Amino acid sequence: MPVDEVLRHFKSSPGLGLRIDQVEARQAEFGPNILRIHPPAVPFMIFLKQFRSPVVYLLIGAAVLALLLAEQVEAVAIFAVLVINALIGFFTELRAVRSMEALRAMASRSVVVRRDGEVFSVPAEDLVPGDIVILDAGDVLSADMRLIEAHNLACDESSLTGESLPVEKTSDPVAQNTLLAERSCMIFKGCAVVRGTGEAIVTATGMSTELGAITKLVDESKPERSPLEYQLSKLSRDLIWLTIIVAITVAFIGVLSARDTVLMVKSAIALAVAAIPEGLPIVATLALARSMLRMARRNALIEHLSAVQTLGSTTVVLTDKTGTLTENRMHVDRIFVYSGEYSFDREAQIFRSDSETLNKVEYHPLFPVLRNAVLCNNAVLASSDHPASGDPMEIALLESAKAVNINRSELLTQLPEIGEIAFDVETRMMATVHQNADEIIFAVKGAPEAVFDCISEIWQRDRAVRFDNHQEQRWHRAADTLAGQGLRLLAIAGKSASSARENPYRNLTLYGLIGFQDPPRTDIASAISDARRAGIRTIMVTGDHAATAKHISQVVGLADQHAAVLTGGELKPLDSISPDEKDELRKMSIFSRVTPEQKLALIKLHQETGDVVAMTGDGVNDAPALRKADIGIAMGIRGTQVAREAADMVLRDDSFATIIDAIREGRIILTNIRRFATYLLSCNLSEVLVVGLAIAVGLPLPLLPLQILFLNLVTDVF
């Protein structure tokens, strides 16, 4: 819809905003601008949860039966053992739950709005549809909004769409069926303004926002039961059947022998108590709690104790790219100039080529490239007083230039800026105008294909040469090569003129191409290698471009150069493909441009064949998959609130390597629990044999239920 139609729809005015009475009426109608938050865990419910076990049910039955037979001491003893177990499990689990709830504190944000013609700040929770919000760089958006005005505005939507680059925004309408990632006139709750200013009208709040829709998906995604819970449940059922069979056998023998019925019931109780390892539930709880605390010291916070062991059973890890495999920060990777290609070494802070190493670029072909890149720039580098601000690509340009002693403030002293032509989505270029003594200098940057159309010359070390067909083909090949390596490209150009009124994009001189990369995290390659040795497949599932996804997967060793990339547009619904197509799909290691619903489908695809699936992520678009996976792993530093809410584990250091440590810990715990179970069952088996054989041959009970309970309390529980 055009802007004026949107304003009429919401009965709002850009100059006045909503009236206070309208705000109050809409707050009553739409409610507060908040997402649904999980209520804090109730201690009483955690305590009751400790009794949800077939083992416990059988012991409670034995205790009730003992009471009916007036054996109060035995009944009280059984209940006492159950309460001891429950209290240990309760305090252990309560501590784990409270540690996770500490992560869930949501800081309240304020928003600058115009109401009744006045501009003031209000809590984000008070926003209503129709509010006019004033935007500035650095703002975190608190609702879905339609732009009314946009001045060089760009937003970071990586947490919502997986797109690592900022998205240019405009107030112009787009087609109704435009994909979310391409709705240039809309801005969304949970994203951030990285550049520019503007005004927008609130179109949706709370659970009606795009982020709210994903939160609903999270709630609808039912987590699977952990392998540990399944195995312990199966063991408990087997023990119960064994106990029932033994008890029936004893009763049958007693009837055949004409023994006292009450004595046979007492004997059955004794056998039940002997057969059931009271320590089994607490062994699992304590082993997992100990592991949880060890993992917390290694920067992995666990939401559910059983998640520790689930990690140990993991066979497939579905991982997001942006912020998980990569740093979610753009860096200059290489620069192509007339004389060749130079790579930028971030660690050493130098430029390299096959023939030279540079830490200064004065009188070098790189100098005009970096100079104009710094001049045509609105970002600010971090200092002791403030963090870096601005477009990530512009920040990256300043950082690489600083490495070779090119400083923006010093350049602006020599070449003061007298004008700026803001980035335009149609021209896909930006220019700044500078005074240099008696002449005017234009510094230009933009998309290579757009800049190439405006070029008449190329800079060759100390002079300009004509941009003929041969040169044009050479530079287009260079751009295609760099793009094929997963790099994002900017072309840097400029010109001298006699007047600032000249067309900034006519008869430009091309200085070079700059390739940017969202670099992989330094520990990723070794972590993926460790996972492969442990028999765990790593699969990339990202919302980013296919070329970028493939390049990163090759760099980190996730896939080779021949690996295919499947995009979300090519991914068919699971219920419409054959079993053979599903098998082929399971072999794929790289998926790009996928939606939250498709992530859920991929998890289901692998779970259908018995794989235990872990899903890592940090954005709100990852949340439904984090919930659906057997083990959801969220990033604690870059991770959004919604992602942390949905996850079973939160990484405080955002390190993929921490996941491998957690998997190793989970496998150790699984082995320990098996050893404990073997020990407990061997003790109880000896008690069953002693009692059962005595009854079978007509001897008195060698161990009374109370004595068995005491033995089990000492040897099992304590």
Contact 374, 411 (CB under 8 A): yes
Instruction: Take residue 14 and report the two structure tokens written for it.
Output: 């850009």
**CA of 511: how far to CAs of 5, 63, 365, 370, in Å?**
45, 86, 8, 9
575 as an active site residue: the answer is no
Angle between helices 227-256 and 261-275 (to 10 degrees): 160
**CA of 248: how far to CAs of 17, 74, 332, 625, in Å?**
79, 21, 76, 48
Quickly tell me which residue has 């004509």 as its tokens: 466
Element (H, E) at 247: helix 227-256
Residue of 131, 139, 320, 716 marked active site: 320
Please state the three-class secondary structure of 255-267 as a single string: HHCCCCHHHHHHH
Beta strand ranges found along 605-689 (DSSP E)? 613-617, 631-635, 649-651
Angle between helices 261-275 and 656-696 (to 10 degrees): 150
Residue 132, strand partner residues: 114, 201
- Cβ-Cβ contacts under 8 Å for 687 (sequence gap 6 or more): 274, 275, 703, 708, 711, 712
Is residue 322 packed enough to be buried (19+ CB in 10 Å), middle (13-18) or exposed (0-12)? buried
Euclidean distance between the first and the last CA atom of the chain, given in angstroms as a whole number = 70
Quickly tell me which residue has 């009475």 as its tokens: 21
Question: Beta strand 110-115 with 118-123: parallel, antiparallel or unpaired?
Answer: antiparallel
Which of 555, 559, 520, 552 lies closest to 537, judged by CA?
559
Helix (H, G, I), strand (E, B) or coil at 545: coil
Contact 633, 649 (CB under 8 A): yes
Element (H, E) at 400: helix 392-403
How remote is the C-alpha of 485 from its chain's centroid?
A: 25
Query: What's 41's DSSP letter?
Result: P
Beta strand ranges found along 347-477 (DSSP E)? 350-352, 357-358, 417-424, 429-436, 439-446, 455-460, 463-466
For 226, list phi and psi in degrees, rounded to 5: -70, 155
Residue 258, phi-psi category: left (phi > 0), alpha (psi -120 to 50), beta (remainder): left
Contact 135, 153 (CB under 8 A): yes
Angle between helices 72-101 and 705-712 (to 10 degrees): 30
**DSSP codes, 61-106:** HHHHHHHHTT-HHHHHHHHHHHHHHHHHHHHHHHHHHHHHHGGGPP
Catalytic residues: 320
